[in-house]
Structure 1
């Protein structure tokens, strides 16, 4: 019989910063725009609800994917990475799928509330969230997960948070959120690179499998380094205040992760067993610092 902690664990709460981080960055940037006179009115409550909604959709997607990864044979007992509770027999598959759709329903209800109080653009953004939550496993098995994650986490979440807070589609937020979006994709890429041999046995095709180990190493390095470059570009274009260069505090960690990825070999992928976790820590640190900089910038 699953315990309360198991119901939480099966939704992979350690991954939620991947959705909470871009939402937090968007919230902080709206604060920056408000304090600098770019926007006159802001609904702070809707912003907080949007952050919660992003995490709810993420949790739902985790649960639905957990079910499909098990029934498709992707998740096995010997697979590396997080503990899979269906594989261990703690959960039957169907209750996890039902759980996922119940969580998704809660997210949709919250989205409808925000939609009624904002406008039509949120319907399009919310639809992207629903599609990514319910059909992510199909994109994953077709080697399109990196693109879907970037669109959902790197772009639509931040655009949605800014919209519900201001009722404006502020397109520059897409440039501002691109760095964290690339880092979030790097989490997935590290995971898929580690699991490429096991995924091949399961008959699915991830981007890492298509690229091969050497190509995956290059892509991982590019994702991390270009993220910092785009921050510099956003500062030069005056969308971000120079104080955001505080994110460079995380650069040594990025370099450390890149060096670890380069040590992996096809015969010894266990060397990057925890690289997705290390990359997730980078994402969290980067996002907290960028958000803090946005809150501080109007007073500097």
Structure 2
């Protein structure tokens, strides 16, 4: 039976027309599946389903997601991350879908990128913001010494150092924030060699945002992203305390930021 599958041009280019046509005809596509984004059941015979191709250094895995959760796309990941995805998809591990591009590939295994959403007041207007802070220092790929290269790596990607929050940071083209069905799914960065965007950070499960945050994101069609090294911001229970922590980090030269276009609604 034909499946209600979405196969993007990028996925088709990777798997070939013959395989894509077999998927659409229902020959190689499962009827039921666990969504690679929200991890809840889906049925490609009953609802629109996206094909998501995860490509590692040597292998690739084709997964499926509710079209309302993720668009059909190609996601570049490391081989280690891909093995973790296979374990997650096959049910050998809990959760799944935490894939990232540079600079998160430099994160030691114990480091996790913490992401907090909140509204930030700049020049009298509220803007939706994401604050990213790792749980451990991040070193540059290929190095073995101690230190924290999180901010230099982001600056090389185009993020701007801040000393105070008095203006909206410049737009970083090629990067975006993926919001689907009112939930936060991923921060995307440009793909290698100008290819399809890849996930720099992706939630294990879609993150809930407040109605006010979502309304501001839809109004501005962009999200401010702030990043700081471990220990700079912390988990703040209120938005006013989060803003105070951002101001302190900026004054200490421990904050970078960019404005990212909004992908999704």
User: 1 or 2 for the larger relative contact order (CA 8 Å, sep ≥6)?
Assistant: 1
Task: Return the structure number with greater strand share.
Answer: 2
Task: Return the structure number with greater helix share.
Answer: 1
Same fold (TM over 0.5): no
TM-score (ref. length: structure 2): 0.29
